[in-house]
Structure 1
Amino acid sequence: MARIFWSVAIFLVSMVMVAHLFVYLEAVTNPVDTLALQAIYRALHDPDGHLSNWRGSNPCEDNWEGIVCSEPQGTNNITYVTELRLFGRNLGGTLAPELGNLTQLEYLNIMWNKLTGSIPSTLGKVDDLEILLLNGNQLNGTLPPELGSLTKLTRIQIDENQISGPIPPEFSGMTSMEHLHMNNNSLNGSLPKELGTLPNLIHILLDNNKLTGYLPPEIAYAPSLLIIQLDNNQFASNATIPATWGTIPKLLKLSLRNCGLTGTIPDLANLTRLEVLDLSNNKLTGIIPNRAALPVNLTSIDLSHNQLSGQIPQSIGNLQLLEYLTLKNNKLSGAVPQNLGTGKAFQTAQGSQVIDLQINQLTSFNASLATLESKTSTKVRLAGNPTICGNANLLTNPLCVPSNDPFLVPYDSSVALEPSSSNSCRACQPITIGYRLKSPGFSSFDRYDSQFLSWFSAGLNLTQSQVVLKDYTWERGPRLRMTILLFSRNGTSFQQPEFDRLYTNFSQWDLPDSARFGPWELLSFDPRSLAGFTSTIHGLSKGAMAGIVVGVAVFAMAVTGLVLFVFYWRRRPSAAVRAQIKRLTKAKSNPALKVSGVIAFTFEELSRATSNFDDKNLLGQGGYGKVYVGDLKDGKQRVAIKRAEPGSLQGAHEFYTEIELLSRVHHRNLCGLVGYCDDVGEQMLVYEFMPGGTLRDHLSALAGTPLNFPTRLRIALGSARGILYLHKEANPPIFHRDIKASNILLDARMVAKVADFGLSRLAPVPDFEGATPGHISTLVKGTPGYMDPEYFLTHKLTDKSDVYSFGVVLLELITGMHAISKGKNIVREAHARNEVGEILSMIDPHIAHYSPKALKAFMQLAVSCCSSSPDERPTMTEVVQTLEELSRQYADLFSDGSSIEPSSTRTASDSSTVPSLPNGHPYSSREISGADTSELFSGTVMHVAPSNNSPQHPEKRNEIRKQPQQPEHAQSPKYHAYREVTT
């Protein structure tokens, strides 16, 4: 009887679940929302048929294009429209007043269409509205005061329309407002002082309008203001800059270019966070404030085309981050300060710095300015100063050559700083994004491009190698327009859920704000991908729900049958029962993993080691998951713990592959695996902790002290020895398949260790006749910019594939550049310059003072490794020999008296040299399959063979006698570059 009771109970519960799902299937869209959408559709013009499925009476359940709905609510299962996404659909017509009837609407996005007419005042009734995006249309009329009642509204973008009239003072009611973007319209009247009462306001972008009147001092009372941009307005003829504006505590950018302002420049010393100051093309008089300390974070100062007099203050020369200074066309006199041009930013060869002092009354300048342009990338201009350049010979004094080239006024130019280049991939379909920085906090993007890619990829939860900056162009504003490609990690194109997630990130403005890059806007999102967009993100279609209902019904019957089967067949032979249970268990989870030589940790042990995975222990994050620093054995053993996120794209195969491989390889230049966790649904790998970070960290623009050439040579040789061990000494040999700068880790003594074996494959083994194939055939996986072209095209993985990838790392080491940057491929650049005999022009300026012969030999080795033909590449044995020969021939490079001696062959016994205290592994993530052959695989070069005089390698390795001193910025386990999301 008990058996029958439990069987019936389970069956009844299952049927109740099915009944509830059938009720859920009957969910309907709020009738008021349906009528509103139908009215909106009638007011629109849809020439391309994007809204052709707006038919019927149930928009949410019928998946109307661009409609996002809530989950069913109440006993009647009513759904409400929460988001309207009509971005870039080429829609015409007008905005219907019925928009105000969508009472639960949170996001309204109709950017970049061709709408006309005015903004309906009824939008003021949509109390839940958080984001209003109407920019890039042809809207006219005035701003409705009713919008001031939207207390939840955080972002309003109406820029690039034809809206006129004043800004209503009622906008002071938008107490949640953060982003007020109304530039490029015809707004007139005064700037409302009421904006100063908004507690959360961070951006005021009102440039290129027709504002009049005065600048209200009360604006300074907005406590969160970061950017004020009012360029190209028509303020009163006697309007001045309020003194209170010099006290805004968080202000990062003040741009008042061409506003007809008079008076003097207020004291700015209290703007401690100010980075960009543009007061050009006004009528300002008096002196430049000569306080002893200007805001130390200033990167750009433009005071050109005013009537300023007096001397240039010494405090400007003290600014170490200043990269753009133009005081052109004023009445400045006296000597140029001796310290001008000595700032750190002006002394670098990276980026495009400017010191423009043309058309003044300056009398003399420091001789170091004359050499600044020849030694760095800083442009210095002094033309138009009669005392300095009146009788100058232009051929001998290039500083006196008049210059009005666009580079000196990037704010007023539409100049493509980077040519477009094809990044289209033959084997994959990236998402193409049009993107624009609306008010960047810099003048030269070259200095910040790596930092931008790191921030951008982190904001989208992508690895940095998935994001490629194809091209960028400065536009009037200044605004920086870009084309960005997003690549899938594990396939030829993004799967629909991942695409939906990315599109939602942009649509709902989920990317975090950046002080450096300022506000941004989406210009385009690959329309090929939009065709498959699932509009009802928060709901399910009838077909999908019906599938779930059928599935649950089948599941209920299957569970009932299974229970009956177990009850009534318990007396069958135990072997059959055990086999059945084994099959069921295998379908649910992976069997427990047992690997000799590494520790199997429990989840509780690793949670305790990281203080329950506290964010204060977070080292970094990639596509695989997050990496934490942890302390085992009561703080005596520091490790790096890579924890997979639920649903991580790294599969169980790669998890087990890395454990299995690392448990069998032991070498001083391979990052060691301490243990793993395969417990309670968690997958974690525990590595040595590497306080030096990744090699990519040290080659990043964010790095502190640049690596010297001897240290780079040591890193190259150590990495090469680790790879050589994999190819020759591991049993069986291993092809790494993902060698790149971010997979080379550095310990506290800057000893290099190769890491991340998730994509590695065992080398081919002999067949029945004893012959060993030269390659293995496998799916293409790796990182764009590092992948062997032969492997990509033929799917044949060989040891020479690793040589190619390592060659790219060598190029990064010697040039300081990344594998792919702004559409440029480092391999193609190296081949092109090598062919014309200018290979040394790519050398990182930080090491250019070392022996040209040594640098050239290193560079030629790197280029030879990157030959498009595998036969022309050296083996890893030859690579190690060449690097060792370099260290012997140029031992005088090592100022500390150390040298590097040969040790290409090592055995497992060498593991005794591994330090007992574990060092670390930051993080890694699986990369995309496929790459762009047109960008990644071009150019050939002759193979550079190692020296004939290279001696045979001794059997036993000689240690480096003295290690380089650890850089100050790498001493902390939380070295800042760990936080840079790289792969």
Structure 2
Amino acid sequence: MIRDSGDISFLGMPISRTWTFGAALLIWLCWSSLLVAAQNAPTDPVEVKALRDIKNSLIDINNNLSNWRRGDPCTSNWTGVLCFNKTEEDGYQHVRELQLLNMNLSGTLSPSLGRLSYMEILDFMWNNITGSIPPEIGNITSLVLLLLNGNQLTGPLPEELGYLPNLERIQIDQNSISGPIPKSFANLNKTQHFHMNNNSISGQIPVELSRLPSLLHFLLDNNNLSGTLPPELSNFPNLLILQLDNNNFDGSTIPASYGNMTKLLKLSLRNCSLQGPMPDLSGIPNLGYLDLSFNQLAGPIPTNKLSENITTIDLSYNNLNGTIPANFSELPLLQQLSVANNSLSGSVPSTIWQTRANGTEGLDLDFENNTLSNISGSISLPQNVTLWLKGNPACSNSSIVQFCESRNSDTNNQSSTESNATCFTQSCPPPYEYSPTSPTSCFCAAPLIFGYRLKSPGFSNFIPYRIRFENYLTSGLELSLYQLDLASIVWESGPRLKMHLKLFPDYVNGTSSHIFNISEARRIISMFTGWKIPDSEIFGPYELLYITLLDPYRDVIVTSQKSNKISTGALVGIVLGAIAGAVTLSAVVSLLILRRRLRDYAAISKRRRQSKASLKIEGVRDFSYAEMAMATNNFNSSSQVGQGGYGKVYKGILADGRTVAIKRTEEGSLQGEKEFLTEIELLSRLHHRNLVSLLGYCDEQGEQMLVYEFMPNGTLRDHLSVKGKEPLSFATRLKIAMTSAKGILYLHTEADPPIFHRDIKASNILVDSRYDAKVADFGLSRLAPVPDIEGSVPDHISTVVKGTPGYLDPEYFLTHKLTDKSDVYSLGVVFLELLTGKQPISHGKNIVREVKVAYQSGMIFSVIDERMGSYPSDCIDKFLTLAMKCCNEETNARPSMADVVRELEGIWHMMSESDTTTTDTISTDNGKEMTPPSSSSMMMNPWVSSEVSGSDLVSGAVPTITPR
């Protein structure tokens, strides 16, 4: 992203410059001279060389590190380099902190980082760094904070990191780190925070970690962990949060010993393939958040009373039976209780909400899709309680039908941008604005602005905790309550809570109170960047996303450490000398810089004319045309691996050795600039193993190209065509169906906000070397509806029809109403392609209609793909039933994507139990591969329709007119 040449930056944030260039140059030179004298010791030469190596390994497209080319790092105040004076030890200054947060840096981490042997904080958060973590970082024995989250790092965790004796926090989350957790990490006796979520870490959790004495937060959700849940984790003496969602502990039970973790505040094991009974957790006195959803837990819910501090209980999507315990009514802080999609029976105890009649906090009760027969007691709900009973026999009772409506997918959207400001008719001179919470009416001030996120909050509804949070944060920052304005609050997937904070100066400090003084601004910033705000039990760990400094705070970047005192005479001499030198040098330097800026301006202007789109995109690598040409041997035809309506796809090899797929949009193609931008913007923030990863783009010299991870097995359409190299077995086809569905489920339920793909088809489903599917091509995708002014969420988007004939949802085609069920229909067509090997429309025949006719005539086996070989008839039966349900003409009759995934998992387990001969494996959400056992009990093209009824298979008429 190109910044205006007149901007300077701090921590990656632009700061507007209003001084004239000459005046700014003079003052900068004066300050530089003063600081050179004040900091009367140079930086350790070893560290100077290390910093230059670090700079050379980085790609700094915004020139945030431009001042790293001149002077001494500590005395010249290189951006992001904070030092301390160690002259009493060796006569040098040393780097204490490397703060390079959110600077749009790419490239790799240099092994020379290990030579900054005095460093305490290493911060590269929220950049685009690739490559692996250098093991040399393990040499920095003084390191306290290792902050590498929000990059594109790959490779394993270095064992050497386990020997950092002073490390308190390791944050590597939201990267692509793979491999196991080194057992050496059990040596990190001072580490309190393990934040390793959203990576590809695999293997068993080392039981050796359980001896860590200081660990508070253990966040390993969204990885590929497998094996069993170690019972030894209950030995953590001080653990507060155990969060392991979306891993694959296949067949493992939840150890009963977890009920002995007396200090635990949050236990989240969502979607971990766990089985067995639900443990008794009543012995955890302060447990506030429990999520065991999307597992295969069986048996009754324990009736022992849980902690009175609990706010959230999610046991949905399991196999729990028995009744709903009445002791759920004895939880005064409960905000959310979900036991949906289980096998619970009996009555719903009304005491759960009757005890809330006089309360003010909301309570959401989701009991959908069980076998509950009625409600015991009063059915009159307090205004602050919602109850969902759809899919239970109780809904046949007309007196409770009001609780049986369809549940919105986002019933707990608490996003807010409210402000208490009342001075709408007046104005503050920019960049000043009203302090909304100030006791002084219409008080104008310049705030410090921070992006802030709660990574693992202990509640589902923030509203009752808002005042408590404001007090917690302001007291931690040593500010008054009215100095904080929560400018926006947004729930994100995880769930995590993102905030936009504005901190205003204290209005009682005299005439200068309209801005923070420089020392106070630095103090507040260091509280965030140094993680000096005390932890909170209910709010959990936080992370810093960005810092924005307005114009009055430009001087915050002038010096990053306090100057030593110098005498008045020396100060006068230095000032006079600096001014004289500045006058002499300013003309020469101004001329040189002016010439350079004119040259840069011409280049920037040319680039802007060539690439309007690239100025708007952040978060992905911006490749040059030359890099793309080199990667593809100048787009040689031998590199071409595909072609579509948008243009050609090439296999390329980047300068760092990575193999990529480059989609080159041809002039006049069907993909316009809007689709090009849409795909970049969406894929840059979507991260799931079953969605293709966007690595970057090129938008120059009239070209538009997208750079993806390379998928060696091409598209699903390639494999289903007659020209496919090898026919796919049924198990492999089922695996592709499963992994495709999981990618789309992520779009519908985990993306924030949710996304409708709108162009699901076999040619947009790519296959990797293990035949795991990844959904691609988001050029037509649309964000799901957002709440309107009254807080309700529309059930559709009204939009011009786009997509591919044969895959289009009939209702969407006729009404222009796009829903998540439109994607379900398209995926159902893909399922039929997997079964038949046919295209959606071939020789004027529609696949949905043809399969239905074949079924009704008793000739269903005639349309099954003969190249599939042998297959279990009951599994084919169920797969066909699911596909036709997805292709139902009526939107509401189609299953949700969650139901589709659940049904596919059931078919896979059925196939495993029937002892098929296939050797295919299926990869779960967390990377665990499951392989059915071998046997010879197979049938060749049988069809026994024991599950499918005529009412299940519905008309599949689809318009074949090319959409607008």
Report SS of the residue matched to 1:286. Answer: strand
**Residue type at the aligned position of 2:330:** N
Report SS of the residue matched to 2:407. Answer: coil
Match of 2:541 in 1: 519
Are residues 322 and 347 of structure 1, via their aligned partners in 2, closer, same or farther at CA, if it must alter by over 3 Å? farther
Match of 2:855 in 1: none
Match of 1:802 in 2: none
1:402 aligns with 2:423: no
1:314 aligns with 2:326: yes
1:303 pairs, out of 315, 325, 331, with 315
Deviation at 1:178, TM superposition (A): 0.5
Match of 2:383 in 1: 376
Are residues 75 and 476 of structure 1, via their aligned partners in 2, closer, same or farther at CA, if it must alter by over 3 Å? closer
Kept after mapping to 2: 8 A contact 1:286/1:308? yes
Structure 2 Cα separation of the partners of residues 151 and 200 of structure 1? 12
**Residue type at the aligned position of 1:266:** P
**Residue type at the aligned position of 1:371:** S
2:571 pairs, out of 550, 569, 581, with 550
1:617-766 to structure 2, matched below 5 A, reads none
Are residues 25 and 302 of structure 1, via their aligned partners in 2, closer, same or farther at CA, if it must alter by over 3 Å? closer
Match of 1:389 in 2: 395
1:142 aligns with 2:146: no
Report SS of the residue matched to 1:82. Answer: strand
Kept after mapping to 2: 8 A contact 1:431/1:486? yes
Are residues 553 and 147 of structure 1, via their aligned partners in 2, closer, same or farther at CA, if it must alter by over 3 Å? closer
1:215 aligns with 2:226: no
Are residues 182 and 102 of structure 1, via their aligned partners in 2, closer, same or farther at CA, if it must alter by over 3 Å? same
1:429 aligns with 2:441: no
Are residues 76 and 158 of structure 1, via their aligned partners in 2, closer, same or farther at CA, if it must alter by over 3 Å? closer
2:523 pairs, out of 501, 507, 515, with 501
Structure 2 Cα separation of the partners of residues 103 and 190 of structure 1? 33
Deviation at 1:419, TM superposition (A): 4.2
Deviation at 1:337, TM superposition (A): 2.7
1:272 aligns with 2:285: yes
Structure 2 Cα separation of the partners of residues 64 and 553 of structure 1? 21
Structure 2 Cα separation of the partners of residues 110 and 76 of structure 1? 28
Structure 1 Cα separation of the partners of residues 300 and 517 of structure 2? 60
Deviation at 1:59, TM superposition (A): 1.1
Match of 1:108 in 2: 122
5+ residue gaps, structure 2: 1-34, 422-431, 435-443, 508-512, 576-789, 791-964
Structure 1 Cα separation of the partners of residues 543 and 146 of structure 2? 13
Deviation at 1:99, TM superposition (A): 0.3
Per-residue CA deviation, residues 351-378 of structure 1 (Å, 9 max, x unaligned), is x32011111122222443x322xx3211
Are residues 34 and 548 of structure 1, via their aligned partners in 2, closer, same or farther at CA, if it must alter by over 3 Å? farther
1:53 aligns with 2:63: no
Deviation at 1:338, TM superposition (A): 4.6
TM-score by length of 1: 0.51
Say what the alpha-carbon RMSD is for the aligned residues.
Answer: 2.7
Are residues 378 and 103 of structure 1, via their aligned partners in 2, closer, same or farther at CA, if it must alter by over 3 Å? same
Deviation at 1:75, TM superposition (A): 6.8
Are residues 485 and 547 of structure 1, via their aligned partners in 2, closer, same or farther at CA, if it must alter by over 3 Å? farther
1:455 aligns with 2:472: yes
1:483 pairs, out of 500, 506, 524, with 500
Are residues 416 and 365 of structure 1, via their aligned partners in 2, closer, same or farther at CA, if it must alter by over 3 Å? closer
Deviation at 1:56, TM superposition (A): 3.9
Report SS of the residue matched to 1:81. Answer: strand
Deviation at 1:547, TM superposition (A): 6.5
Match of 1:644 in 2: none
Report SS of the residue matched to 1:502. Answer: helix
Deviation at 1:528, TM superposition (A): 3.7
**TM superposition outliers: structure 1 runs of 4+ over 6 Å:** 21-24, 420-424, 551-554
5+ residue gaps, structure 1: 1-20, 555-828, 830-983
Per-residue CA deviation, residues 383-424 of structure 1 (Å, 9 max, x unaligned), is 2221x212426xx731122324311xx5xxxx4622466977
1:441 aligns with 2:458: yes
Paired residues in the alignment total: 519
Report SS of the residue matched to 1:308. Answer: strand
1:354 aligns with 2:367: no
Deviation at 1:316, TM superposition (A): 1.6
Structure 1 Cα separation of the partners of residues 484 and 92 of structure 2? 40
Kept after mapping to 2: 8 A contact 1:69/1:536? no
Match of 1:780 in 2: none
2:140 pairs, out of 126, 136, 146, with 126
Kept after mapping to 2: 8 A contact 1:434/1:482? yes
Deviation at 1:148, TM superposition (A): 0.3
Kept after mapping to 2: 8 A contact 1:304/1:330? yes
Structure 1 Cα separation of the partners of residues 531 and 230 of structure 2? 30
Structure 1 Cα separation of the partners of residues 311 and 534 of structure 2? 22
Deviation at 1:538, TM superposition (A): 3.7
**Residue type at the aligned position of 1:334:** G
**Residue type at the aligned position of 2:108:** T
**Residue type at the aligned position of 2:62:** D
Greater relative contact order: 1 or 2 (C-alpha under 8 angstroms, separation 6 or more)?
1
Match of 2:702 in 1: none
Identity %, equivalent residues: 43
Structure 1 Cα separation of the partners of residues 572 and 375 of structure 2? 82
1:227 pairs, out of 230, 237, 241, with 241
Are residues 25 and 186 of structure 1, via their aligned partners in 2, closer, same or farther at CA, if it must alter by over 3 Å? closer
Kept after mapping to 2: 8 A contact 1:296/1:320? yes
Match of 1:940 in 2: none
Match of 1:189 in 2: 203
Match of 1:36 in 2: 50
Deviation at 1:551, TM superposition (A): 6.8
Structure 2 Cα separation of the partners of residues 27 and 513 of structure 1? 37
Kept after mapping to 1: 8 A contact 2:210/2:235? yes
Structure 1 Cα separation of the partners of residues 219 and 273 of structure 2? 18
Structure 2 Cα separation of the partners of residues 313 and 469 of structure 1? 39
